[in-house]
């Protein structure tokens, strides 16, 4: 791997890999027909905050592109082809990375932490001590507080091998930041594979008992952001969900999806389920009842008109399913106005407000332990 040090504000660098793939012997293994595969990673310095440099990274595997930044561990664009080969962005975003520094937005593409989702009452108890947090979502704390991981500049470096291009990012959240105890070191890898998988990996370690719940908050719209996602078809591998109160804090109940609008175990048109629920979704869909390293194919999404598909895999215990209920006339990229239901989020994470629910999987990380979390989004087309 060769790392590049920026020279000036507009410096642009590229890592390009091209190699020939020889067909495998005629045996039980699948033969690889591709003669040449091109991977490209472009790095551009786009801003600076004091002595912290902010970069835009563009990952290209020859079929799709992913744009990301070390500001907020951000995914700002995902461009994938439709069934006719038309390449379009499918992630709600702003026109440029620098806009994210100054224009308020609802966590488009951001890394959410130190604790993603909501903590009820903006407080929790840990080892007999009560910690009070910022109230940035009514009476509650949302996505890490006033300045969560989505507003931090991460140390970053690109990397590559014969089949992957990516960016490694690290951030030290110091003891007391946003009210959380312990110095927490988080490492984030975001990478693109040859078979159109966007993989996100988290690891974190602490020097004091603390809370950790990390996720990515990309809003997807497989139509190329041409309208609401109500025409998308969803299928979840979820037998249960966690109901919420009027402030979207889980009640503590774990409810069977049978007979409810949350039953996506067979493919369902999203608009029909939204109507059945008398509104959109902002709920935790249960993947597992307890933590384990098992990697699960949890969600499949299809946009019938474009043919685009997205499959989500994760090793975590839940996925927050959010249908952009609070978007209202937001001025997004390319002159588009994002309205209600114009995107959906699949936020792989621990269950919300878990620290205040004794029957929920614990979000506590202790010294000597390592938090690990992997998410994969695989893109494709159905003709």
Alpha helices in the chain (DSSP H): 97-102, 270-276
Q: What global pTM score does this model have?
A: 0.91
Q: Where are the domains of the chain?
A: 12-23+31-381
Active site residues: 217, 347
Query: Rounded CA gap, 240 and 246, in Å?
Result: 20
Query: Rounded CA gap, 115 and 223, in Å?
Result: 31
CATH architecture of 12-23+31-381: Distorted Sandwich (2.70)
Name the region of 180 (left: φ>0; alpha: ψ -120 to 50; beta: rest).
Answer: beta
Q: What is the pLDDT of residues 88-120, one digit of tens each?
A: 999 999 999 999 999 999 999 999 999 999 999
Query: Rounded CA gap, 54 and 98, in Å?
Result: 9
Counting as low any pLDDT under 50, the low residues of the chain are 1-13, 15-35
In sequence order, what are the beta bridge partners of 364? 211
- Report residue 299 CA to chain centroid gap: 14
pLDDT at 26: 35
């Amino acid at each position: 791997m060769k790392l590049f040090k920026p020279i000036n504000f507009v410096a642009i660098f590229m890592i390009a890999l091209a190699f020939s793939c020889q067909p495998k012997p005629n045996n039980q293994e699948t033969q690889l027909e591709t003669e040449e595969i091109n991977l490209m990673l472009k790095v551009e310095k786009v801003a600076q905050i004091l002595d912290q440099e902010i970069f835009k990274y563009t990952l290209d595997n020859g079929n799709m592109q992913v744009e990301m930044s070390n500001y907020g561990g951000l995914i700002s664009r995902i461009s994938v082809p439709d069934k006719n080969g038309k390449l379009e962005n499918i992630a709600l975003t702003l026109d440029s990375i620098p806009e994210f520094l100054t224009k308020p937005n609802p966590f488009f593409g951001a890394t959410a932490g130190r604790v993603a989702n909501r903590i009820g009452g903006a407080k929790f108890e840990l080892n007999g001590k009560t910690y009070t947090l910022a109230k940035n979502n009514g009476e509650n704390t949302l996505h890490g507080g006033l300045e969560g991981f989505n507003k931090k500049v991460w140390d970053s470096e690109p990397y590559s091998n014969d089949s992957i291009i990516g960016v490694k990012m690290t951030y030290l959240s110091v003891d007391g930041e946003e009210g959380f105890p312990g110095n927490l070191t988080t490492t984030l890898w975001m990478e693109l594979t040859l078979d159109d998988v966007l993989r996100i990996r988290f690891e974190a370690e602490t020097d004091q008992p603390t809370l950790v719940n990390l996720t990515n908050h990309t809003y997807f719209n497989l139509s190329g952001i041409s309208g609401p996602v109500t025409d998308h078809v969803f299928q979840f591998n979820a037998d249960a969900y966690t109901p919420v109160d009027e402030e979207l804090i889980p009640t503590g109940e774990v409810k069977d999806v049978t007979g409810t609008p949350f039953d996506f175990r067979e493919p369902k048109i999203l608009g029909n389920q939204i109507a059945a629920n008398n509104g959109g979704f902002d709920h935790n869909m249960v993947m597992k009842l307890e933590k384990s390293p098992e990697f699960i194919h949890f969600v499949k999404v299809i946009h019938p008109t474009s043919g685009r598909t997205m499959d989500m895999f994760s090793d975590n215990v839940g996925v927050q399913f959010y249908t952009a209920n609070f978007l209202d006339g937001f001025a997004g990229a390319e002159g588009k106005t994002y309205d209600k239901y114009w995107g959906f989020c699949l936020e792989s994470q621990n269950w919300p407000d878990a620290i205040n629910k004794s029957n929920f999987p614990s979000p506590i990380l202790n010294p000597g332990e390592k938090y690990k979390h992997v998410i994969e989004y695989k893109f494709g087309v159905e003709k």
